[in-house]
Structures are given as structure tokens and as C-alpha cells.
Structure 1
Amino acid sequence: MKERRVAVVGYEAAELLDIACVTTSLGSANWYGASPPYHTRLLTPGGRPVTCGTGLTLQAQEALERVTGPLDTLIVSGGIGHEEAAANRVIVAHVRRLARESRRIASVCTGATVLAAAGLLDGRRATTHWQWAGRLASRHPEVIVDPGPIFIREGNISTAAGVTSALDLTLAFIEEDNGSELARNVARNLVTYLQRPGNQAQMSMFTAPPPPENTLVKRVVEHIASNLGGDLATAALAAGAGVSERHLTRLFLKHLGQTPGRFVRQARTEAAAQLLVSSSLPMAAVAARCGFGTAETLRQAFVDRYGIPPSRYRLAQASA
């Protein structure tokens, strides 16, 4: 193999950062000696220039319809134009076609909407920008949408969360292809963080409050955040809010992209992560303070969310 052919798909109102994070990272990998080197091309419908969501015009290098495989990697960018792109039969058909001819397929941010429209995410766990996760889940119930991680890799298909998570996913690809040392050099060159694992949360519940116009959801979330050690079962939350469990669950799915139970587990796990770093409390005390009951329950929740046990997380943060 003389080169790794990489196709990045853009369209009208695509996000420039979604594209640049990928192309700049791969270009930097070439500079550090990626072997074989990456040959990256921007594909657009008809090969026409596209105006990005920020208003800047980006020149395409090839027409989406004319490119043929085999490709090493196919990456679909996101952006505010993603829904129109997903409704465009030409774009979707050629993404589907090129996916069959690619070793590795990925999307960045809301590019997952295009992969979903092409049927490439059916039955798979996938992520997207946290603001769009609920909409993706409702429009494509066949996709297992997880709004938590910064990226998810299932087989040869990967989905990355919002915007700069493209850096994390591309660095993971570079490390897979060329080893950790070269990927580390690229990360240093880009002045970014190499070791941010894909299962790290893309958005903390403490910095991503629900839309302020939904006062009921906001009130319940505030109650959860201030009563992590209390009874936060869905039934108790619904009773406190004066609604049925079913209605509360529907509201949480609509505005937060997850059920009340899952949100509570996330809030408790994130609070535990903060305590592990900011205090010397033993595991049992951290678990009790955050509402887990036992250290083992905390461990299971922590591994599910962060991929490592809390003890290892504490050590890693202490030595960082």
C-alpha cells in the first residue's frame, strides 16, 4: 500500500472545524513520518465549493459522485447543514456506496445523521453532539444513540461527538495505524491532549443544563444535583415533580436524550469523579456521599462510564 486514501465528505453548511481537525491531524502525521502516508481529499457534491456554517468558502478537491474505492478511511463531517445533507439522496447514496469500499468509516459530530440516513448505524451504538442526540434517537430508533462518550468505535464504524472530538478520534486512528509514539508527536504538535479516551464524557451534566424554557426538567435536574445521596428513583422524582413516571421519562428523553435513571447514574458518577480527585475520602465514603450505597456499585458505574475503576482513575489524576 503506497498511501492511505482518506475521503472527508463535506456539504453546504458543514462545520469547518469538523473537517480541519481531521485533515490537519493527518497532515501532521505525514510530517512525522506516517507510513504509508495519508492522502486526504475533501469530497463534495459535484466537486463544488461549499460555504461552511461559519460563512467561509471551502474548495473541494474531488466530486463525491466520481470517487471510487478502495479507500482506507471515509469520514463524514457534521455541521448545521447535516439534516439537509441527510435528506439529499445523492449524498446518502454515495456515502453508502463508498462505505462498502472503505476499510474504516467514521462521522464527526452531526455527521452521524448522514451515516444513520444511509443505514450504516442500524443496530449499532453511536454518538453525536450532545445537543442533537435526542433528535437522532427519535428519527432513527434503529440506532442505539449514546450521548455520553466523545467517540464510539464499533467494528469498522466510528462516531465522534461534537466538533473537536474529531481530534480525539483522528489521533486514535493515527495511533492504531502508526503506533503511540507518532500519535503522541502529532498531539504535541497540535498542542492537544492525546490520552483522552473515547469513553470520556463529552459534556458534564454540571455544564450542560437542560433548556431553561422547560422549567420542570430544570427543577428536577437541580434537585438531583443537590440530593445525590437521597432517593432519586424515577418514581420518587416523578412524585416530587407532580407528574407520572412515564411523562417524566418522556421529558428527559426529549430534553436530555436519556432517561431519568440514566441521568441520575451519570450525575452520581461524575460527582464521584470530582470527589476522587479533590479529596482523600476512601471509596466507601465517596460511594455513600454520591448515592451508590457500596464501593462495588460505584466501581461498576465508574467502569461503565469511564472504562476504568475509580481507584485507577484517582491514581491517574494524581500523577497527571
Structure 2
Amino acid sequence: MATVNGKVVTHDVVIVVYDGVQLLDVAGPLDVFDRAAAEGGAGYRVRLASLGGRPVVTSAEAQLGVSADLARIRKPPDTLMVAGGRGYAAAAADRELVRHVRRLAGGSRRTGSVCTGAFVLAAAGLLDGRRATTHWAFCSELAVCHPAVSVEPDAFFVRDGTVVTSAGVTAGIDLSLALLEDDFGPELARAVAKFLVVFMQRPGGQSQFSTWMRREPLRGALSELVDNIDSDPSGDRSVPALAALMGMSRRHFSRLFTQQVGTSPGAYVERARVAAARALLESSADGVDAIAGRCGFGTVETMRRAFVRETGVSPAAYRDRFRRG
């Protein structure tokens, strides 16, 4: 057991679960803290808590045993974590669950969430005025539903004061390693990461794992144009060329496009080109220079810069991680 100045140190961790929770959102942090105890004697007492102390059924339909009734925990834990999963919306709408999360967070040293567990923290008002993240596929929803939250869609985890939120699923491991490092130092966290065969700190951001998020279907004059950009981003997609195709002035076209699509023409074209390049890097044997030309970037350096802006990693690094076969 870990000691400080001869005294035993035990960190009390409560992970809030509910029906529809993602199993790995729970198992990832559990394994980090369990291995820390086995590897270096780190003192963690980890409990799973649900309303009523009832077992929960995960999104994979596995029953998960629970050791504590959320409503009956009187002493706030050192660390309060809320797991995510398909049942996040119902959990965030459960006033009793949210009330107890808010109550315990008020006395905890730190509060965190894994994946869509961020929606429960947001419902409790714990993310208002803070930076936060969640799974890339739900970042837009979090930003729309909770405009007081500053959502950072590319981060694996975000610290803001005593609140820490993480991206989807396996990012709960990244978060737990960071908490372990805070508690017992980098050497133990590094040893646990090696044993679990994971990065101590993953390169890039979660954007490299996201898919091209298609816009809602457009209506009107821009619909066909945007479909053409998506299907063939390699042509002349400059503002003058696009405005000419629409028979509009450059200024009017740019204003209309931004208003209806939600981003500028240049930003949209760049993202469409990066999406095309990602698909080719995953499936094609072509060189990076050839892919840059096929996707309309012109030069490898132009593609590299756009790729890093969009995904946080270089085209070569992306291919190394995601190429099929």
C-alpha cells in the first residue's frame, strides 16, 4: 500500500454507472487503478455506484455488479467519475442521478467523465463556463445542448480546474493514467501503461479517429454544388471558380455559403480534401505525393499542413496507423 510520510494513502474512487453504460468506459479505469496497486502498491479503493445499488446492464448486454448505492454515499469520494455509454441521455435526464452527482462532486477533490458521461456532468451544471470534451461523434451535440460549455473536440482529455473530461471509450484509460500520474508520479503511470500495452500519452488528437461528419442535407442552390465538392474535391474549388459556377459575385457567394453550410467555402473544401486523402491513405498504395495531387492539394506540404490542422497528425503517421491490411 502506498504511504506518504509513513501514513497509508488510499484514494477513494467512485465510478457512476447506469443501464446502457459502455463496458470499456468502466473497465479501462478499473484496470488502470488495479494494475497501479499491483505494480507499485498505489492505494485505490474503487467502487461502482448506481441508483439503488442495483446491478446495471451494459450496452453490450452484460450485467455489471455494483458495490454502492449512489444515494447512500455520504462522504464525497476523492475522485468521482461518470462513465459514458448508449444510456447517457436517459442518465442525464434522470434528476435523482444528476442531483447525487452534483452533491458528491461538490465535496470531491476532482470530478471526471469518460466519453458521453460528460452529458451527465453538464446536466449537473458542473461544466458551465469550463472547457470539456467527449467522444468526437457527440461533441457537436454537447456544444448545442449545453452552450455554456466550451467543447474541445480534438482532445483526448481536458482539464479545467478540478474537472477532467475525456474523449470516447479507450480515452478513459488516457484519463486514468493522467490521474494516476497526479497521485503517484510518472514512473508508476509509465509502468502501468507499459503493462497495459498502451501509450503513456497518445500522439495527435481524437480527430484522427473521427469520420467525415456530413452536414444536414441542404436545400436550394448550394445543394448540388456542395455534393460536387464532396464527390470531387480535386478540381478548381477556389472562391472565384465556385462563385462563377453559381453565377454570383464572390462576396455574395461567400456570405451565402457560410450562412447555409456553417463554414467558409475554403474551410469546407479543405476538409473535403482531407477526407478524400484519408480514404486513399487507408486503402491505396499510391505515394503521398500522388494522393496530394489526386485530392487537389497541389503539393505534399500543402496536404501535410491541412492534415495536421484537421487530424493532429501527418499523412504519413495517419497511414501507419490506419492503412488497411
Which of residues 26, 29, 50 in structure 2 aligns to 1:44?
50
Structure 1 230/70 Cα, relative in aligned 2: closer, same or farther at 3 Å? farther
1:210 to 209, 214, 232: 214
The answer on whether the counterparts of 1:34 and 1:178 sit within 8 Å (CA) in structure 2 is no
Cα offset, 1:69, TM superposition: 3.0
Question: Secondary structure at 1:132's aligned position in 2?
Answer: helix
1:30 pairs, out of 37, 41, 45, with 37
Once the two structures are TM-superposed, the CA of residue 208 in structure 1 deviates from its matched residue by 3.7
> How far is 1:176 from its partner?
2.1
Q: CA RMSD in A?
A: 4.3
Check 1:299–1:214 CA distance in 2 against 1; reply closer, same or farther (3 A cut): closer
Whether contact under 8 Å (1:85, 1:114) holds in the other structure is yes
* Partners of 1:218 and 1:170 in 2: CA distance: 46
Map of 2:186 onto structure 1: 180
1:210 maps to amino acid: R
- Provide the rounded CA distance (Å) in 1 between the counterparts of 2:161 and 2:181: 16
C-alpha deviations, 1:166-193, integer Å up to 9, x for none?
A: 1111111112222222111111111112
Q: Residue 105 of structure 1: SS of its match in structure 2?
A: strand
**1:110 equivalent in structure 2:** 116
Instruction: Go from structure 1 to structure 2 and tell me whether the alpha carbon gap of 1:46 and 1:230 turns closer, same or farther (over 3 Å shift).
Output: farther
- 1:149–1:202 contact (8 Å) kept in structure 2: no
The aligned residue for residue 10 of structure 2 is: 3
Question: Secondary structure, in 3 states, of the residue corresponding to 2:81?
Answer: strand
Distance 1:305 1:69 in 2: 42
Structure-2 separation of matches of 1:76 and 1:97: 13
Percentage identity across aligned positions?
41
Query: Corresponding residue for 1:137?
Result: 143
Deviation at 1:279, TM superposition (A): 9.0
Partner of 2:197: 191
Structure 1: give runs of 5+ residues left out of the alignment.
none
Aligned equivalents of 1:230, 1:4: Cα separation in 2:
59
The SS at the match of 1:53 is coil
Query: After the TM superposition, which of the residue ranges 143-152 and 5-14 deviates more from structure 2?
Result: 143-152
Q: Which runs of 5+ in 2 are unaligned?
A: 1-7, 321-325
Greater Cα offset, 152-161 or 211-220:
211-220
8 Å CA contact 2:16, 2:50 repeated in 1: yes
Give SS of 1:32's match: helix
2:19 to 12, 18, 25: 12
Q: How many residues align?
A: 292
TM-score for the superposition, normalised by structure 1? 0.72
Larger Rg: 2
Asked if residue 63 in structure 1 is aligned to residue 69 in structure 2, the reply is yes
